[in-house]
A and B are shown apart, each in its own frame.
Chain A
Amino acid sequence: MKLKKILREYPLLLLFALVMGGLFLLDLCFTSNPYSELENRRLKQKPAFSLESLLENRYTKDYEGYINDQFVGRDRWITLKSVFESALGKTENNGVVYGADRYIYNKLLDPALGESRQNGAGFGGDGSDTPALPVVNSAQLGRNVNFLNTFAVTYPGHVTAAIAPNSYGIRPEGLPAGLPNVNQQAAIGELYRQFSGDNLSTLDLIAPLREAAGEMQVSYRTDHHWTTDGAWVGYRAYCESRSLPYVTLEELAPYRREEPGFLGTYYNKSKNFDALPDTLVWYDIPVEDVTIDGEHTVLQTDGSLVEVTGLYQREKFAVRDKYAAFLYGNNGLTVIKSGNSKAHREGEVSRVLVIKDSYGNCFAPFLTYSYDEVWVADLRNMTFKVSQVLAENQFDDVLILYNFDTFQEDRNFSRITY
C-alpha cells in the first residue's frame, strides 16, 4: 500500500534514486579494467593514498582519473553519446567527420584558419593535449621538412620521399559540405617543393591513388590507414619511379586473404552506430626470415614475448586492432629476407631501407618482390641510430614513407638525423 502511494506521489524521486543508486552500486562492484582496446591505452587504476600525494594534489587528480576511466559501462556510455550526437544532427564526433558513402574522415583543418595549439606533452593520452583547433601543425611540419632535408644532405645515396594522402586527401569531394579541411594535394605539393637535395626525389602518390580509387578500395572507411591494395598502388608507383620490376595483384591473387569485420581507429573515435565494417586484406607472401631489432621475438604491451615467424602476427587478425598484425605492429627495425625479388642478380644482395610510419606496415611486404632484403625502420620505437644502420649496411635505396596526417604532427621525426 505504502509503496504504491510513494510510486504515485514521488515517481521522479524513485526513478532518480534507482538510476543513481543502481549505477553507484554497480560501479562499486565492478573490477577494474587494465586496458582499453578501443583507446589503445592503459586505463588508470586506483591510486594509493598517502598524505604526501594528497597535499601535492596528486591523489585527488589521480582518483578522479581513475573514477572516469573505470566507470561502469564506460564503453556503452561512449556509444550512447555518439547516438545522441547523431540525433542532434552532428556530422562529427570526437575529432572525426562522417563523409559520403559511410566513410569516416579525419578532421584536420586548413592551417590558414589558425594555429595549432597542441602542447608539448606528446601523445600522452590523458585528454589534456587536445588542441582547441584541429588544424595542420605548420610549425611541426616545418621542423620535419628541415629534418628530412638535413638527412638528405648528409646521406650520400639516393632518397625517395613519399607523403601518402589520407582518405580525405584522396577523395576530398566526400567531405561534408563546407568543412574547411586542409587541401592535401596542395599541401603535399608544397611539401615536395620544400624538400631539397641533389640525390632526393619525391614520389607523387595522390594521382595513382585517385586513379585506382575508381576500381578498388584504397582507403578504409573506418580506419586511418590505406588499405593493403592502396599500399600496393603506392608500391607500384614507387617501383616505376625507381625503374624496378614489381609484382602485380594478379600474381599475388593466390596469396590473397580477407578478414571481414574490421572496425578501425576512426570508428574507435566516432563509435557511430551506422558504421560499415571494412574488410582487411593481406597477402600471405612467403619469406625466408624476419627479425625485429635483431631478434626472432618481439615484446608485447603486456610484457610477454611473442615469436616472430613471418610478416604477420596472425592472431591479431582475430582481434579488434587487426591492422596491428602487419609486421607485428610498429617496431624499431624489422629486416625481411626473401627469395621473391624479381630484380635479383646472382651474387648480389639488393637492399632497401624504409623509414616509415604505420602506413609502411602493410606496404613493406610487397617490396620483397623488388629487393632481396627489406629493412623497415620506425623512428617512433627506435632502439638504433639511423646513421649507424646506414653506415654498417649498404643500401641501394632509401624510402621515407609517411602519411600526411602523421607527418604534420610527428615529433619523433627528428630522429632521422640521429
Chain B
Amino acid sequence: MSHPEHKDYTGAKFGMWLFLFTELLLFGGLFILYATYLTRYPQQFAAGGKELNVVFGTANTVILLTSSLFAAMAVTSVQKGDRTTTLRLLGLTVLCAAIFMVNKYFEWSAKIHHGIYPGSPRLGSAPLGESVFFGLYYVTTGLHGLHVLVGAGLLSWIGMKVNHGKIHQGDFVTLENGALYWHLVDLVWIFIFPLYYLIL
C-alpha cells in the first residue's frame, strides 16, 4: 500500500477532514462562550440581536449556500473533465465570497457608525450582557470572515492550477479538498446565522 509514487487519494481527503475538525473545534470554543453567555443574559442577547440586520444576515446566508453549490458543482464538473465549466464555477464561488465580504463590510461599518464596537462608550454604558454579545459577534464573524478570505484565496489558487492543467479529471483531490474547506466555511455560517441574527 505504501508506494511513494502512488498518490493516496483517500488519504489526502482523510487528512483534510481531520483538518476540518480542528477548524470546527476552533469555532467550537466560541460557541461554548456563546452558549454560556446566552444562558446568563437571555434578555440582553435578545436586545443585542435586534440591533443586527436580518436582511444582511439572510442575504449572506443565501450567498454562502449558493457559493457552496458552485463549489460542489465544480467538483462534479472536474470529474466529468469539463475544464471550462470548472473554471467558471470556481470563479462564481470566489465572486460570491467577494459579495459576502462587501456585505460584511457595510454591516460592520453601520454598526461601528452607530457606536457599537468593542470598547465603545455606548457599549460601556449598555447593560452588562450586551457588551458580551457584541464582543462575541465581532470575534466570531471576524474569524469567520478571515476564513472566507482564506477560502477564496485557496479556491483562486486552485483555479490557476486547473487552468494550467495541473488539476484535471485524473487528479483532482486538491480541488475536492479546497471545496471541502469552502463547505466548512458555509457550515459555520449556517450556525452563526440563527444564533446571532435570529434568536432574539
The yes or no verdict on A and B being binding partners is no
A residues at B contact (CB < 8 Å): none
